[in-house]
Amino acid sequence: MTVKISHTPEVQALFREAAGLNNDQGSPRLKQILLRLITDAAKVIEDLEVTEDEFWIAVDLMNRVGKHTEFGLLLPGLSLEHFIDLLQDAKDAQVGLTGGTPRTIEGPLYVANAPLSMGETRMDDGSEDDVATPLFIEGVVRDTAGKPVAGAVVDMWQANTNGTYSFFDPSQSEFNLRRRIQTDTEGRYRARSIIPSGYGLDPHGPAQECLSAIGRHGQRPAHIHVFVSADGHRHLTSQINLAGDAYLWDDFAYATREGLVGEAVINENSDASKARGLDGRRFAELRFDFQLQSAVNPEAQRRSHRPRMGQ
């Protein structure tokens, strides 16, 4: 017989005390959230008859996820970061905010203050010239009426051919494959980069341990992260996911969305290669345009206030 006591006045009073609601110090908002988390956790324990062993195994897993700084990977893998996007989509639809490039998850690997260039830039440091396929990216930032947005900032970051990111991979140079590009008077941006590799969770880490326990992989397709911002326009957090990747529609972090798939077209023409300064090597070209909604208030022009490296 299942015993349930979380609804009793005595236990409810305990939870309110634990959440700090019996004092006038601290954050009322945090107290509200904690009370809900404590209450819901207690109901899970009751309803599913969670054993003491299961409880403490879960605590140990959370301790190890924190020690390895993998919560920023595990929570997307459990769909919560994507859920926040879906919830914001629903809120937008409710008030009639439509159009624009779809949003998708930021992930945990952004670093602020990448070098800023006007119109075009090279993102990679050349260290993988012998193994990487050069990738030339270009596009236009427009508003929802189709008008080019001059002076927009396209902030891009991506993995290298090993699927790792500068700053988090100490073998890479500072800000390798991280750049900000300000669009020209016609809203255009251009970048020379390399085709990134997809990547997966650390196979021996606690986040993958959790996903493996429910029969799931931890792989991501090849992609390029972007922030796009401009005065008077809503900040966009998104990604360009590369067509043809085996995990394109099987991303463990649920970041691939309709409208966010770009094709890196391989070009093996030696004359075109030489014109690009590549001495006959094959290269790829990717065209991807962005469309920004108008900002309904000044706050909408800014990215979220989540903690990030370098800011």
CATH number at residue 229: 2.60.130.10
Q: Answer for the pair 152, 228: CB distance below 8 angstroms, yes or no.
A: yes
Residue 310 confidence (pLDDT): 85
- Are 42 and 85 in a shared domain? no
* Average confidence (pLDDT) over 61-81: 97
Residue 18 confidence (pLDDT): 98
In a domain, 191, yes or no: yes
* pLDDT at 60 > cutoff 90: yes
Residue 269 confidence (pLDDT): 96
* Average confidence (pLDDT) over 30-45: 98
Q: Which domain holds residue 140?
A: 77-301
Can you tell me the distance from the alpha carbon of 231 to that of 307, in angstroms, rounded to the nearest whole number?
23
Q: Answer for the pair 201, 218: CB distance below 8 angstroms, yes or no.
A: yes
In a domain, 115, yes or no: yes
* pLDDT at 2 > cutoff 90: no
Residue 184 confidence (pLDDT): 98
Report the percentage of the chain scoring pLDDT > 90.
97
- Are 253 and 134 in a shared domain? yes
- Could you tell me the pLDDT band of residue 126, with boundaries at 50, 70 and 90? very high
| pLDDT tens digits for range 194-219 | 999 999 999 999 999 999 999 999 99
Strand 283-287 to 134-143 pairing: parallel
In 3D space, the residue among 53, 44, 64, 62 whose CA is nearest the CA of residue 2 turns out to be: 44
* Average confidence (pLDDT) over 264-268: 97
* Average confidence (pLDDT) over 55-74: 97
In a domain, 109, yes or no: yes
In a domain, 241, yes or no: yes
- Are 41 and 82 in a shared domain? no
In a domain, 57, yes or no: no
In a domain, 229, yes or no: yes
- Are 193 and 256 in a shared domain? yes
* pLDDT at 70 > cutoff 90: yes
Which pTM value belongs to this model?
0.94
3-state helix, strand, coil in the chain (%, to 5): 30, 25, 50
- Are 6 and 121 in a shared domain? no
| 285 φ, ψ (degrees, to nearest 5) | -125, 135
* pLDDT at 40 > cutoff 90: yes
* Average confidence (pLDDT) over 229-246: 98
In a domain, 289, yes or no: yes
- Are 118 and 40 in a shared domain? no
Q: Which amino acid is located at 59 in the chain?
A: V
**Mean pLDDT for all residues in the chain:** 97
- Are 126 and 10 in a shared domain? no
* pLDDT at 1 > cutoff 80: no
| 156 φ, ψ (degrees, to nearest 5) | -120, 140
* Average confidence (pLDDT) over 56-78: 97
Q: Answer for the pair 250, 309: CB distance below 8 angstroms, yes or no.
A: no
- Are 4 and 118 in a shared domain? no
* Average confidence (pLDDT) over 232-257: 98
For the record, the structure tokens of 272 come out as: 């075109």
- Are 39 and 115 in a shared domain? no
In a domain, 288, yes or no: yes
- Are 87 and 2 in a shared domain? no
Can you tell me the distance from the alpha carbon of 188 to that of 204, in angstroms, rounded to the nearest whole number?
43
- Could you tell me the pLDDT band of residue 45, with boundaries at 50, 70 and 90? very high
For the record, the structure tokens of 120 come out as: 């075009």
Q: Answer for the pair 189, 120: CB distance below 8 angstroms, yes or no.
A: yes
Ordered alpha helix ranges (H), the chain: 9-18, 28-47, 52-67, 71-77, 80-94, 206-213, 270-275
In the chain, the number of structural domains is 2
Beta bridge partners of 143: 292
